[in-house]
Amino acid sequence: MASSEELHKRRGGAVARGVGSVISSYVDTASGGTITDVDGREWIDFAAGIAVSSVGNSAPKVVEAVRAQVERFTHTCFMVAPYESYVAVCEQLNAVTPGGFEKRSALFNSGAEAVENAVKIARHATGRPAVVVFDHAYHGRTNLTMALTAKNMPYKHRFGPFAGEIYRVPMSYPLRDGGLSGAEAAARAIEMVEKQVGAENVAALLIEPIQGEGGFVVPAPGFLPALRAWATAAGVVFVADEIQTGFCRTGDWFACQHESVEPDLVALAKGIAGGLPLAAVTGRAELMDAVHVGGLGGTYGGNPIACAAALATIETMHELDLAAAARRIESVLAPRLRAAAERDPRIAEVRGRGAMLAVELVRPGTLVPDPVATAAVSAACHAAGLLTLTCGTYGNVLRFLPPLVISDEQLTRGADILDAAFG
């Protein structure tokens, strides 16, 4: 087997430079809360493929389901010759997503596709053009979802012009918005929409219940319910981007449920299928069914192998109660992060829910972001065998997304490495 060094040299002559990687080691195997590279080095995994491998890599039920499906057939295209597993996944999504109303689902390949199709559905159903998004948002890398995303580098830089009729308003960011309550922050955003766009022109209000790439920003309590109430009154489709927060990641099945918010549409991906590419939009039946036949779909959307993996993944989440597992992870890791914050004045805030936790780093005594220190701490973690990710509009947030099946012992070892990296 080639070494990581050899593979990295081959990569330079084969892979486009614009495709980056966090580490230069190459994976051989992965399971539970660890990854082993081709050189035999073990890494504690605090990334989970960016919140994808929530049930762990090579989860037994997922492996069994995928193997069985590959032996039966690999692809027919649901739009040509349909199959039961697509229907079964939609039934499961309709059942587990927030809201007791009648729902429908449609399956796609990636989070960006899910968001883009949610916008299509909202525009078609309402006949309105405008979409409202938030500061620090991340929604994907297609042309429309780049327009929806707030951060220029690396996501948008020199890739424009972008899709139009996108309007951005302030997010509730408790560390940085002057102590506004959730209701006050929502009123600020709503006032901007009504004055600058006009509620009657808005098809959709699109929001991550906890922002992902933007810095794991948890809005102040009351922010999401106030926006939900305004959207209902204004006839605006409330779209929750639960791509990173969904499927037990935050200690409930979906992050909206922490404040009993019921979105009209939910965009889903990442943790949905145990590492296979699958995404979905699930929502109110009258909205989903408003689109004409043939208006939604895609060649690979709801591929039978991915659907088999998704059914096994959802079954595993139920059987192992991975929402409770996420809360257990928070109970182990969050106190360690708070203790580090008490010792280290660079840590301005510890935030997040469940197994979606982060620390924001600043210059001591200020709120000036410190991306240099953030990158240095993350690099020190990598050198010691802990896989971590950074994020945030200012590049100054360390985020932690361990697989939901990670052990307490692995969590503790990871926290020890993190402590040493800060030191």
Residue 378 sits in which domain range? 4-58+321-422
Same domain as 381, residue 283: no
Percent pLDDT > 70 in the chain is 100
Q: Summarize pLDDT for 300-339 with one digit per residue, the tens.
A: 999 999 999 999 999 999 999 999 999 999 999 999 999 9
**pLDDT tens digits, 53-78:** 999 999 999 999 999 999 999 999 99
Quick one: average pLDDT of 189-217? 98
pLDDT for 244: 98
Q: Is the dihedral angle over the CA atoms 226, 227, 228, 230 positive or is it negative?
A: positive
- The whole-number average pLDDT for the span 216-243 is 98
For 134, the enclosing helix (H) or strand (E) is strand 130-134
Residues 296 and 150 occupy one common structural domain: yes
176 shares a domain with 52 = no
DSSP letter at 110 equals S
What's the pLDDT score for residue 198? 98
Band of pLDDT at residue 414, cut at 50, 70 and 90: very high
* Last residue in a domain, options 271, 299, 320: 320
User: Percent of the chain scored above 90 by pLDDT?
Assistant: 99
279 in the same domain as 221: yes
- Average pLDDT in the chain: 97
Pick from 283, 299, 320: which residue ends a domain? Answer: 320
Residues 218 and 316 in one domain: yes
What's the pLDDT score for residue 310? 98
- pLDDT bracket for residue 162 (50, 70, 90): very high
268 and 370 together in one domain: no
Write down which residue in 299, 320, 341 finishes a domain: 320
Give the per-residue pLDDT at 92: 98
CATH number at residue 73: 3.40.640.10
Give me the DSSP letters along 43-102.
EEESSHHHHT-TT-TT-HHHHHHHHHHHHH-S---TTTS--HHHHHHHHHHHHHSS-SS-
List all residues 6 or more positions away from 218 whose beta carbon is below 8 Å from its beta carbon: 174, 210, 351, 352, 353
What mean pLDDT do residues 253-272 have?
Answer: 98
In this structure, the answer to whether residues 17 and 81 fall within a common structural domain is no
Helical axes 322-343 vs 408-422, angle rounded to 10°: 20
Res. 1: pLDDT tops 90: no
pLDDT of the residue at 83: 98
DSSP string for 205-221: EEE-SS-STTT---PPT
What total of structural domains would you count in the chain? 2
pLDDT at 193 over 90: yes
Q: What pairs with residue 283 in β-bridges?
A: 104, 265
Examine the domain organization and report whether 86 and 212 are in the same domain: yes
- The CATH number covering residue 374 comes to 3.90.1150.10
Co-location of 229 and 102 in the same domain: yes
Do 326 and 203 share a structural domain? no
If asked whether residues 280 and 146 sit together in one domain, one would say: yes
Report the alpha-carbon distance of residue 6 to residue 164 in Å, rounded: 45
Same domain, 196 and 72: yes
According to DSSP, residue 255 is labeled G
Per-residue pLDDT at 149: 97
